[in-house]
Homo-oligomer: A and B are copies of this chain.
């Protein structure tokens, strides 16, 4: 355990905010926050809580469609408007918003994010995604989603146009010269972007963001996603079920970034689901309590779909029966391989499997004492598995309260996590340079 020093490598931690928590049944808990999902004060309190824990940022996923409204709400307030308010209720913590490159114009995205970076005094990050679902396409004028390759070509061009717009004002363009110019016209430029998907003349109608560019997050795991991350990402949200998977991804990305000649650090932060309590038994009880809130019938129906066989009459509290191997399964591969891996590694009962799938199934899930959880996090952090974590509390606010009250002090004690903020921008927290104007 290293000494605490300004130069020692520090973990990065985000609170990945999601409705009443990342466990699909969290809203069903008697004390859940479900009635508050439309109340901005709930979001402000979560941000203040995360700031008390000295976290780097609050992270928002997003979607362009309503989803299954009978089974809970994942989004409700729109992230960009919520972040404007949350940033005013806090002073240090960053805010990362997912903004899809598929449905906004680059001008709107650049402007909204730049405005937020000014409002928050430099605490904004942008998680660049390509939307995936036809149900989102059909809310925005398309019959179905463009194919994967086209979405990534579009995403890359979108990023280029947004970066160009942020750089369309030099840092020193504003003069405020009352006898002369408000801004120096030679330092505010058109970008004249004319690409395959977008035409954007520019300049932006917002001066250069406080951070130069809001921090670019990316989360791709496909080949095109990794390539996009290699070229543009400044920090990465990853999905890793266990350390070997995390290491594979971590080493691959670091190698690609270095091969591309980029000298930046690009911190990689896998998602992490934690159930924390003073004893391992109590932590398991917390997990069990949420799992038991899952409506069994609907969950079994869903599992039957995932594994392509009827499991509606399987015993909930018995071990999961043996399933066909990957080679003998013809349905969609991703989710099925996660299911096989959970069964193989964790030997769960059927109810436990349903619970795992209902709370960040493919992500690393840790259940135990603050020491046990800190041990694992430290091990990943010291062994090329992670530079930090995107925390996915199964329930909110209790899950992040547990983490901040119990795990954060343990990480701080070990010299792995800051005891206070040392800078004022999200770039400062993540140890990223402010980009010059291209």
Closest to A139 in B: B107
Asked if A76 meets B207 with Cβ closer than 8 Å, knowing A88-B89, A104-B108, A115-B82, the reply is yes
Q: How far is the CA of A140 from the CA of B198 in the complex (A)?
A: 8
Considering only CB atoms, which chain B residue lies closest to A175 in the complex?
B70
Please state if A81 and B80 are interface contacts (CB–CB under 8 Å). yes
On whether the beta carbons of A81 and B112 are closer than 8 Å, the reply is yes
Choose one: B73, B81, B103; the contact of A183 (CB below 8 Å): B73
A422 at the interface (CB under 8 A from B): no
Q: Does A431 have its Cβ within 8 Å of any Cβ on chain B?
A: no
Q: Say how far A183's CB is from chain B's closest CB, in angstroms.
A: 4
Complexed CA–CA distance, A118 and B69 (Å): 18
- The stretch from A24-32, A322-330, A357-365 touching chain B is A24-32
Known contacts A38-B207, A183-B70, A200-B139; A81/B78 CB under 8 A: no
A105–B140 touching, CB < 8 Å? yes
Q: Which of B38, B75, B105 contacts A103 (CB 8 A)?
A: B105
Q: Are A119 and B81 in contact (CB under 8 A)?
A: yes
| A231 interface residue per 8 A CB criterion | no
Does A178 contact B29, Cβ atoms closer than 8 Å? yes
Instruction: Give the residue name and chain of the B residue nearest to A25 (CB).
Output: B178
Complex interface: chain B residues within 8 A of A104 (CB): 108
- From A60-68, A233-241, A303-311, the one touching the partner chain is A60-68
Q: Please, could you name 14 A-B residue pairs with CB atoms under 8 Å apart, sorted by A?
A: A34-B182, A35-B176, A40-B118, A65-B205, A69-B182, A70-B182, A73-B183, A78-B111, A81-B81, A81-B116, A82-B115, A138-B199, A143-B199, A178-B293
- A202 touches which of B27, B82, B107, B139 (Cβ 8 Å): B139
CA distance A203 to B142 in the complex (A): 15
In this assembly, does A141 line the interface, its C-beta being within 8 Å of a C-beta of chain B?
Answer: yes
A185 within 8 A of B: yes
Instruction: State in angstroms the CA–CA spacing of A75 and B206 once bound together.
Output: 8
A141 partner, pick from B70, B182, B199, B205, beta carbons under 8 A: B199
